[in-house]
Amino acid sequence: MRNKLFLSIALVLTITMSLSAQKNLSLGIIGTRFGNTNNDSKLTDIKNPTGYGIVASYNLNSEFGVAFTGEYYKGDIENSAGKERDIRGHLSLFYTFIPESRISPYFSAGIVFTNRNHEYTNGIADKTDNLFFAREGLGVDLKIVQNLSLNLDCGIYHDGLHLVGWSSSVGFRYGIKTF
At residue 80, φ and ψ (nearest 5 deg) are: -155, 160
Q: For 156-179, what is each residue's pLDDT tens digit?
A: 999 888 888 899 999 999 985 544
In this structure, of 28-42, 47-61, 98-112, the range with the lowest mean pLDDT score is 28-42
12 in any annotated domain: no
Selected residue with higher pLDDT from 20 and 133? 133
Q: Does residue 111 or residue 81 have the better pLDDT?
A: 111
Residue 150: give the domain boundaries: 24-174
- pLDDT average, residue stretch 28-35: 93
Instruction: State percent of the chain over pLDDT 70.
Output: 83
What DSSP state is assigned to residue 77? B
DSSP-assigned letter for residue 139: E
pLDDT at 169: 96
Greater pLDDT, 90 or 75 = 90
Q: What is the pLDDT of residue 3?
A: 55
Instruction: Check residue 2 and give its pLDDT.
Output: 55
Evaluate whether residue 10 is within a structural domain: no
Q: Judge whether residue 82 has pLDDT over 90.
A: no
User: Are 14 and 6 spatial neighbours (Cβ–Cβ below 8 Å)?
Assistant: no
Q: For the domain that residue 103 is a member of, what is the CATH number?
A: 2.40.160.20
Among 26, 96, 18, smallest CA distance to 54 is for 26
Overall number of domains in the chain: 1
Cβ-in-10-Å burial (0-12, 13-18, 19+) of 135 comes to buried
Ramachandran sector of residue 14 (left: φ over 0; alpha: ψ -120 to 50; beta: rest): alpha
Structure confidence at residue 126 (pLDDT):
85
Instruction: Give a yes or no: residue 4 inside a domain.
Output: no
Reference 139, options 60, 49, 28; nearest CA is 28
38 found inside a domain: yes
Assess whether pLDDT exceeds 80 at residue 34.
Answer: yes
Of 133, 179, 176, 178, nearest in space to 29 by CA: 176
Residue 125 pLDDT grade (very low, low, confident, very high; cuts 50, 70, 90): confident
The arithmetic mean of pLDDT across residues 96-102, rounded, is: 85
Element (H, E) at 167: strand 163-174
Q: How far apart are CA 42 and CA 96, in angstroms?
A: 30
State which amino acid sits at residue 140: V
Tell me if 2 is assigned to some domain: no
Give the Cα separation of 126 and 81 in Å (integer). Answer: 11
5 is a domain residue? no
Question: Poorest-confidence range of 30-34, 60-64, 118-122, 123-127?
Answer: 123-127
Q: Tell me the average pLDDT of the chain.
A: 83
The answer to whether residue 17 is domain-embedded is: no
